[in-house]
Amino acid sequence: MSKPLILPKKYKSHLDLNQTEKAIKLVKDTFQQQLSAELNLRRVTAPLIVVKGTGINDDLNGTENKVSFPIKDMDNVIAEVVNSLAKWKRIALADYNILKGYGIYTDMNAIRPDEELDNMHSLYVDQWDWERAMSRKERNLDFLKYIVRKIYEVLKRTEYTVNENYGVLKPVLPHDITFIHSEDLQQQYPDLDPRERETVAVRKYGAIFVIGIGSELADGKPHDGRAPDYDDWITITEKGHKGLNGDIILWNPILECAFEVSSMGIRVDKDSLLEQLEITGTTERKSLLFHKRLINGELPLSIGGGIGQSRICMFFLQKAHIGEVQACIWPKATIEQCKKHNIFLL
């Protein structure tokens, strides 16, 4: 079921349809070029589908349905449309012999049929998936923050480029991104749920990186769900907090809400993988292709994540709905409601 729409009062897009299409290309070209240069990444070709049962597909929170189908010419083996390329990228780092300090990025396209549709969520997911090989000594919170700051600089440079080409789109990002742990948020706002905590924090700071997604907090619940086999959410860091992962969240002045643009983190090593599989009761995954290669030491240590393409286009072009920058399927009621409020979906 669709979530209630946010319908900004007196909304009118700053760009018409033709300007929007040109601006989308500008945002995507600028961002991926800057990201590649900043993180030492090179583009690779990635799959849309993978074989079921290899452990390569991203399980997200572990409850979402995947789009799947039998392959007639392969004895009806089941293929799945990827949810993300979190684990595939790490295999690619090994197979491409990528050196430490360098990495890859690719266009990731997914279909998530269980998504609850609203201003920011659609059935179609498009993001840049990236992965960078790292050393053992870099598996710490300081290095995670170092990479987050680099990505944030790319966001700011992209925003500047958009403003240079479309002066009506004024920059809104703060100079710096603020780091805050999910455990600190829970302690500061125990009566709020995780989404409400994010909203309070990002409204105050403008741009935040919430650290520690997946482990239980003091109230017995995680800030949000994370699969046990890509991000490391169990390693203890500063102040006894857990987690070497997090989300980049921006304050969206059009929708007046928290706006996540990236999920990322330092990936599991053998020890954290085994511990997280144990915690989540998924130890049977140890027999899958990806997990066996990781446990056997065949995959490099890495950091990586996904950055929403339509999300950042929506943000920088100051649109009220992701359907203004992405062609997808929407309920008829959503289309009609948006039209009444000057929101025209592609």
User: What are the structural domains of the chain?
Assistant: 17-340 (3.30.930.10)
- pLDDT by residue (tens digit) across 220-231? 888 988 889 989
Active site residue 2: no
Active site residue 193: no
Among 13, 186, 263, 309, the active-site one is: 263
Q: Any long-range contacts for 21-28 (C-beta under 8 Å, 24+ apart)?
A: 23/162, 23/165, 23/166, 23/313, 23/317, 24/313, 24/317, 24/325, 26/161, 26/162, 26/165, 27/158, 27/162, 27/312, 27/313, 27/316, 27/317, 28/309, 28/313
- pLDDT for 64 equals 66
Q: How many CB atoms lie within 10 A of CB 276?
A: 23
Predicted confidence (pLDDT) at residue 4 exceeds the cutoff of 70? yes
- Residue 234: phi and psi, rounded to 5, are -115, -25
C-alpha pair distances (Å), 190 with each of 41, 147, 204, 225 = 40, 30, 18, 18
- pLDDT by residue (tens digit) across 125-143? 899 999 999 999 999 999 9
Which residue did the predictor score with more confidence, 34 or 111?
A: 34
- pLDDT for 54 equals 77
Percent of the chain with pLDDT over 90: 68
> In this structure, what token pair is assigned to residue 322?
């992701």
Among 127, 182, 186, 318, the active-site one is: 127
- pLDDT for 176 equals 97
Cα 46 to its chain centre, rounded Å, is: 17
Among 198, 231, 260, 269, the active-site one is: 260
243: left (phi over 0), alpha (psi -120 to 50) or beta: left
Q: How does residue 149 score in pLDDT terms, banded at 50, 70 and 90?
A: very high
Among 13, 32, 36, 58, the active-site one is: 58
Residue 236's identity, in one-letter code, is I
Instruction: Tell me the mean pLDDT in the region 67-95.
Output: 88
- pLDDT for 168 equals 95
Instruction: Tell me the mean pLDDT in the region 110-118.
Output: 84
- pLDDT for 55 equals 73
- pLDDT for 47 equals 87
- pLDDT for 59 equals 63
Vertex 111: Cα angle to 107 and 113 (nearest 5): 160
- pLDDT for 187 equals 92
Active site residue 231: no
Calculate helix-pair angle for 309-316, 141-165, nearest 10 degrees: 50
Predicted confidence (pLDDT) at residue 218 exceeds the cutoff of 70? yes
Among 183, 247, 269, 324, the active-site one is: 247
Cβ-based neighbours of 194, under 8 Å, separated by 6 or more: 182, 185, 186, 223, 224
- pLDDT by residue (tens digit) across 283-332? 999 998 889 999 999 999 999 999 999 999 999 999 999 999 998 888 89
Among 112, 132, 139, 226, the active-site one is: 112
- pLDDT by residue (tens digit) across 229-281? 989 999 988 788 999 999 999 999 999 999 999 999 999 999 999 999 999 99
Predicted confidence (pLDDT) at residue 61 exceeds the cutoff of 90? no
Instruction: Tell me the mean pLDDT in the region 13-24.
Output: 94
Active site residue 247: yes
- pLDDT for 165 equals 96
Active site residue 195: no
Active site residue 33: no
Q: What is the pTM of this model?
A: 0.92
DSSP 48: S
Q: How many CB atoms lie within 10 A of CB 165?
A: 14
